[in-house]
């Protein structure tokens, strides 16, 4: 408080009377100028005004500090850590939108769009594709479609329509031109139920290999051809118990052959005399029908370490316009697994026998003959290396769990083929030792890399899932 020069101020005495405060001014000079009193009054008012202003300023500072703290707490990182409690109405709208979108993309746990990675058939190399499954498309009718293309331009497209909900969990006998070493869906868990559907497939294999029939066919006879066509079949699957299932399917198989696309090999029609090879000059329409039964006691089919599998399949291939190419195929497949005393070790063995029964003078078309070689049988030889009308094969593996996600498996494959079961000879058996490295978890084998050796050199086999 500042006063002009020449102004004097008397002492200020405050006295409280009956709860009231009265400021008594004792003026030492009775002749105090009016301007000094005005100055003191103005100064007192200024002091009284200044105090609330300071308080207001302090409140502003406090408010600003709270704003800073709030901003820090609501930074992107902090907000991400905080649990957001949405408005119930907004949450309901979001759930409704998600359900509507999910009806198209993923209608159920086993439905929606799926990405596949694997091998179409032996020799196709790695493939990838997309599939879509939708239950109750037409009331109780389900739909499943799938398409796959490999790096070698093999193509496979499938459409299934019918009662499909239990398809994967019941025994399935595969399509009529499937290799005998993989006739059944043995890597999926089974539960009681049934499936009934129509299965339509188109395949285009541009560079299948053929060496000629029998165990003595020279390696230098290797040639290639293209195989394409459709199959349309009705399929019934019934899993009676978790361990026992039956399956039947019947329909038509219409395939045709052409020139192969592998420039490194001579075409089939240039290597062989087509008039002497069954089915080389004419590929008839086959009516196929068959059934299978499998007993499976394994605990974990995707990575088995106990139990056994025993399956039998019988199928007829009838060509009414080419009776000399009609035949009936009988296949027996048995596998056993046992955990050994050594820690993390499993002994796996397999026996496979198959035979085509034909009328006198008839023969199985070369492109439908069963064969040994490749990632499922003799792994030290090329795929389709030894084709014929009858085969016998055995494999044994010791699967050592080196790590939770790594399995090392030395193996030994053996097998032979002949025109009939009675002509199979132990003297013609080919052997193929090797070792495999697998990526796996507790429930299934994700991928495998097998190194096999045979009399024609060494091979590397890449596969998905267990060898058997």
72-128 pLDDT per residue, tens: 444 433 443 344 344 444 444 444 444 443 444 444 457 899 999 889 999 899 999
205, 218 Cβ separation under 8 angstroms = no
pLDDT of residue 9 exceeding 90: no
CA distance 369 to 276: 15
442 and 297, same structural domain?
A: yes
Is 280 within a domain? yes
176 and 53, same structural domain?
A: no
374 and 265, same structural domain?
A: yes
56 and 173, same structural domain?
A: no
196 and 63, same structural domain?
A: no
pLDDT of residue 15 exceeding 80: no
Please report the pLDDT score of residue 227 as a whole number. 97
Please report the pLDDT score of residue 35 as a whole number. 35
Please report the pLDDT score of residue 344 as a whole number. 85
* Nearest residue to 401 (alpha-carbon basis) of 350, 451, 340: 340
Tell me what the mean pLDDT of segment 242-249 comes to.
Answer: 98
358 and 223, same structural domain?
A: yes
308 and 418, same structural domain?
A: yes
Q: Can you give the residue range of the structural domain that contains 272?
A: 166-463
- pLDDT category at 22 given cuts 50, 70, 90 is very low
Residues in the chain: 468
Reported in sequence order, the residue ranges of 151-192 that DSSP labels E, i.e. its strands, are 155-163
Angle at 428 between CA 422 and CA 431, to 5 degrees: 125
Please report the pLDDT score of residue 454 as a whole number. 95
Structural domain tally of the chain? 2
60 and 171, same structural domain?
A: no
Is 104 within a domain? no
- The model carries a pTM of 0.75
Please report the pLDDT score of residue 110 as a whole number. 73
Q: pLDDT digits over 421-437, tens only?
A: 999 999 999 999 999 99
47 and 171, same structural domain?
A: no
CA distance 433 to 447: 20
389 and 258, same structural domain?
A: yes
450 and 315, same structural domain?
A: yes
- The CA-atom distances, in angstroms, between 298 and each of 116, 310, 459 are 25, 11, 30
Q: Are strands 20-25 and 12-17 parallel, antiparallel or unpaired?
A: antiparallel
H/E run at residue 79? helix 76-81
pLDDT of residue 175 exceeding 50: yes
- Where do we find the tokens 């293209």? 226
| Domain C-terminal end among 48, 73, 98 | 73
- The CA-atom distances, in angstroms, between 192 and each of 165, 219, 293, 299, 371 are 12, 47, 14, 15, 33
Tell me what the mean pLDDT of segment 288-306 comes to.
Answer: 96
Is 115 within a domain? no
Is 32 within a domain? yes
464, 444 Cβ separation under 8 angstroms = no
Please report the pLDDT score of residue 308 as a whole number. 97
Is 125 within a domain? no
Please report the pLDDT score of residue 343 as a whole number. 72
318 and 183, same structural domain?
A: yes
CB atoms within 10 A of CB 329: 24
For the chain, percent of residues with pLDDT exceeding 90: 71
pLDDT of residue 45 exceeding 80: no
CA distance 437 to 446: 11
* Nearest residue to 391 (alpha-carbon basis) of 214, 210, 176, 178: 214
416: buried, middle or exposed (CB in 10 Å: 19+, 13-18, 0-12)?
Answer: buried
Please report the pLDDT score of residue 5 as a whole number. 36
Residue of 135 and 65 predicted with greater confidence: 135
Please report the pLDDT score of residue 85 as a whole number. 46
Mean pLDDT for the chain overall:
82
H/E run at residue 104? helix 88-105
Please report the pLDDT score of residue 109 as a whole number. 55
Is 42 within a domain? yes
CA distance 260 to 98: 48
260, 208 Cβ separation under 8 angstroms = yes
């Amino acid at each position: 408080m500042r006063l002009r020069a020449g102004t004097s101020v008397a002492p200020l005495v405050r006295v409280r009377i009956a709860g009231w405060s009265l400021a008594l001014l004792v003026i030492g000079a009775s002749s105090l100028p009016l301007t000094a009193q005005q100055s003191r009054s103005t100064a007192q008012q200024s002091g009284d005004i200044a105090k609330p202003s300071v308080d207001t300023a302090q409140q502003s500072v406090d408010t600003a500090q709270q704003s800073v703290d709030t901003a820090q707490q609501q930074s992107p990182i902090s907000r991400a850590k905080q649990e957001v409690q949405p408005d119930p109405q907004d949450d309901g709208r979001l759930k409704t939108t998600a359900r509507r979108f999910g009806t198209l993309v993923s209608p159920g746990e086993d439905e929606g769009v799926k990405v596949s990675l694997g091998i179409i058939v032996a020799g196709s190399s790695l493939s990838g594709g997309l599939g879509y499954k939708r239950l109750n498309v037409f009331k109780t009718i389900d739909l499943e479609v799938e398409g796959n293309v490999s790096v070698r331009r093999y193509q496979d497209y499938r459409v299934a329509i019918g009662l499909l909900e239990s398809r994967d969990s019941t025994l399935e006998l595969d399509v009529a031109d499937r290799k005998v070493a993989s006739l059944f869906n043995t890597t999926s868990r089974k539960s009681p139920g049934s499936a009934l559907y129509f299965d339509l497939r188109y395949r285009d294999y541009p560079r299948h290999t053929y060496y000629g029939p029998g165990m003595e066919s020279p390696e230098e006879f290797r040639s290639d051809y293209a195989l394409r066509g459709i199959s349309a079949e009705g399929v019934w699957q019934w899993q009676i118990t978790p361990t026992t299932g039956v399956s039947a399917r019947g329909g038509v198989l219409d395939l045709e052959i052409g020139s192969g696309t592998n420039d490194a090999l001579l075409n089939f029609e240039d290597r062989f005399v087509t008039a002497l090879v069954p089915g080389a000059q004419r590929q008839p329409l086959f009516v196929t029908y068959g059934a299978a039964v499998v007993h499976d006691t394994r605990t974990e089919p995707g990575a088995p370490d106990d139990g056994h599998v025993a399956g039998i399949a019988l199928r007829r291939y009838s060509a009414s316009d080419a009776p000399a190419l009609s035949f009936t195929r009988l296949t027996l497949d048995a596998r056993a697994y046992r955990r050994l005393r050594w820690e993390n070790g499993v002994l796996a063995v397999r026996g496979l026998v198959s035979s085509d029964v034909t009328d006198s003078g008839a023969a199985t078309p070369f492109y439908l003959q069963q064969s040994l070689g490749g990632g499922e049988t003799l792994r030290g030889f090329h795929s389709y290396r030894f084709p014929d009308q009858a085969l016998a094969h055995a494999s044994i593996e010791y699967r050592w769990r080196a790590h939770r996600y790594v399995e090392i498996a030395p193996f030994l494959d053996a097998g032979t083929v002949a025109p009939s079961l009675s002509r199979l000879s132990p003297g013609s058996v080919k052997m193929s030792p090797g070792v495999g490295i697998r990526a796996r978890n507790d429930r299934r084998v994700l991928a495998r890399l097998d190194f096999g050796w045979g009399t024609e050199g060494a091979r590397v086999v890449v596969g998905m899932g267990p060898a058997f």
